[in-house]
Homo-oligomer: A and B are copies of this chain.
Amino acid sequence: MRIEDVDTPFVMVDLDALEANLVKYHTYYKEHGIGFRPHIKTHKTLAISRMQLEAGAVGITCQKLGEAEVMINGGLVTDILIPYNIIGKQKLERLTALVRRAPITVAVDSEYTALGLSEAASADDVTIGVIIEVEMGFKRTGVATLEGSLELAKVVDGLPGLELKGFMGFPTPPSTRALFQEMIALLDKSGLPHPIVSGGGTGSALLAHEIPELTEYRAGEYLVGGQYHLKNGTHTVEQCSLRAVSTVISRPADDRMFLDAGSKTLSASAYTDGSMGHIVEYPDAIINDASEEHGHVDISACASKPEIGERIQIIPAHPCPCVNEHDELIAVRNGRVEAVWPVHARGKIR
């Protein structure tokens, strides 16, 4: 079947572009001796996770327990990092069950989380690997100070059922190197272990070597790009392997058209300028809004105007939430459908 025979809207992955990104990034990490631990939340599929492990990944990153369950239940028993505070009886029971089936490390940024993990691990007689999430100055999750991070590391190190394994940050551009160095010095001074020093983020993924303290790195979008990485210069149009394919279904005036891809296809996620994706064939068009089933496009700057019935490809603003809208990804090579991949971890929010 050719791509033209698949009815729109749908989301496709260009395999040649995907594989080129895979080789490029995994080679980079091999060359620099940094463990690469891809974040599977971008694609949420078993097939691509397998490709990443075969390319040399040291394990995978899952953002929620439910994603890790999908991977392990799908036969992908590998070393898994869940960089997330896992809280509450139900999730802790699921976690200790999972720890018996595969090596799992989780992140904490509070004593509350650490105590819950320790209690669950002790009750279920397992050991859970734990890293401290250290805030890198971007006001995200993570302990807000290095002193606080050290204190939490000491707590984790002293709790039964937990094994302190190091620390992580996100995102970790080269400018964060000093924080990594100081944190390592603090841990060393207290005699605390840090076999894992983990950085993350596709934006700085090819600059990881500028923080030689890193033992491993987490990135997801490196494989597929996206409008953000396109604008940033991290990916070219050709390197953006994930595209939504859509049909022009309405063109009421010369200044606007409507696509059959709205937020249910692209997600409601927007780039910083408010646009919701880059149209490959009409780079001057601006997707300035999306209702659920319509992409609203300003075409006033387009020299030639798209016609009703025309198909176009969209590089979405953010691939991860876009993929989460879909039950399947169409894997394409040279315009031919090579596989239809179920998005196994779609909707796994717990």
Contact = CB atoms under 8 A, between A and B. Distances in A.
Interface of A: 7-10, 41, 63-64, 84-85, 87-88, 90-91, 109-110, 112-113, 135, 139-144, 247, 249-253, 256, 258, 260-261, 263-265, 267-270, 292-294, 296, 308-309, 318, 320-321, 324-327, 347, 349-350
Contact of A325 (B293, B296, B318, B347): B347
A326 B347 contact: yes
Given A139-B256, A350-B7, A250 B88 contact: no
B252 A143 contact: yes
A197 to B, nearest CB: 20
Given A253-B144, A268-B268, A350 B9 contact: yes
Nearest to A91: B7
Give chain A's interface secondary structure class: loop
Ranked nearest first, the 4 interchain pairs of A and B with the lowest CB-CB distance are: A268-B269, A268-B268, A7-B90, A85-B249
B250 A109 contact: yes
B308 A268 contact: no
B141 A263 contact: no
A256 B320 CA distance: 24
A144 B320 contact: no
Given A249-B113, A349-B9, A292 B320 contact: yes
B250 A292 contact: no
Contacts of A309: 87-88, 112
B41 A292 contact: yes
Nearest to A289: B140
A327 to B, nearest CB: 6
Nearest to A266: B268
Q: Which of A9, A64, A264, A324 has the most CB of B within 10 A?
A: A264
A349 B265 contact: yes
Given A268-B267, A268-B269, A250 B347 contact: no
Contacts of A321: 263-264, 268, 292
Nearest to A320: B292
